[in-house]
C-alpha cells in the first residue's frame, strides 16, 4: 500500500499547489495592471501620490500622452518613491512635501491616483469639478475591503463611479461632483 500513500500525497500536493497559485495570482496582481483601471485620458493633468515604481509612472504617462501632464509627489509619512532611477517617468514632475504644504491651488487636477487613503481629505480640494480620484489597492497591502473604501470616498464628498478589480486587488474611482449654480 505504499503506492496509495505516495499517490495521495502527490494528488494533495497538486491540489494545494493549484490553490496556492490561484490565490497568489489574486494577491500578486501587479499595481501596474491596476493603473489601467483608473481611466486616465489624453489631455488630463494628473497627480500621482505616494510611492510609484517606474512601470506605474510610464503607464500613466502613456495614458496621458501626448497632451497630458503627470505630477508625482511623495507625501512625507508615506515614504520615498520606490524607484528614483533617472529614466523613470521622464515626463513626470516629482517632489516630496508634507500634506499641509502642497504646492498646488484648489481645482488643479483632472485626476488623482492615490495608494494611501489617509490623504483623501487633503487631496479632494485639488480635484477640478468632475475630476476623478482613483484609490488603488494592490493585493497584500493590508487595506480594507472595497466597500469600506467606497464609503470613505463618499464621506469625503465624492461620487463613487466604479470599483473594478477582484479579490484583494481593486481600484475605487470616485468623481468630484460638479457644483451647480442655484436657479434664479
Predicted local distance difference test score (pLDDT) of residue 19: 45
Predicted local distance difference test score (pLDDT) of residue 3: 53
Is the full-model pTM beyond 0.75? Answer: no
What's the pLDDT tens digit per position in 38-56? Answer: 889 999 999 998 777 778 8
Higher pLDDT pick, 94 / 107 = 107
Q: How many CB atoms lie within 10 A of CB 115?
A: 21
CA distance 36 to 147: 21
* CB under 8 A, 24+ apart: contacts of 103-108: 104/47, 104/71, 107/131, 108/45, 108/47
CA distance 68 to 99: 24
What's the pLDDT tens digit per position in 113-165? Answer: 988 888 898 899 999 999 999 988 876 554 557 788 889 999 999 999 987 87
58: DSSP letter? H
Predicted local distance difference test score (pLDDT) of residue 34: 81
Amino acid at each position: 500500500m505504499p503506492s496509495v500513500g505516495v499517490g495521495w500525497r502527490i494528488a494533495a500536493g497538486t491540489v494545494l499547489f493549484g490553490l496556492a497559485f490561484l490565490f497568489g495570482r489574486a494577491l500578486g496582481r501587479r499595481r501596474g495592471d491596476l493603473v489601467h483601471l483608473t481611466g486616465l485620458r489624453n489631455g488630463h493633468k494628473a497627480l500621482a501620490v505616494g510611492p510609484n515604481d517606474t512601470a506605474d509612472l510610464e503607464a500613466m504617462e502613456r495614458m496621458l500622452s501626448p497632451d497630458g501632464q503627470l505630477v508625482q509627489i511623495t507625501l512625507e509619512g508615506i515614504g520615498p518613491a520606490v524607484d528614483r532611477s533617472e529614466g523613470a517617468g521622464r515626463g513626470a514632475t516629482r517632489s516630496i512635501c508634507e500634506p499641509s504644504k502642497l504646492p498646488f491651488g484648489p481645482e488643479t487636477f483632472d485626476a488623482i491616483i492615490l495608494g494611501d487613503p489617509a490623504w483623501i481629505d487633503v487631496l479632494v480640494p485639488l480635484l477640478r469639478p468632475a475630476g476623478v480620484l482613483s484609490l488603488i489597492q494592490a493585493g497584500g497591502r493590508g487595506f480594507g475591503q472595497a466597500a469600506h473604501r467606497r464609503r470613505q470616498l463618499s464621506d469625503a464628498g465624492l461620487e463613487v463611479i466604479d470599483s473594478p478589480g477582484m479579490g484583494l486587488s481593486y481600484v475605487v474611482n470616485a468623481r468630484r461632483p460638479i457644483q451647480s449654480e442655484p436657479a434664479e
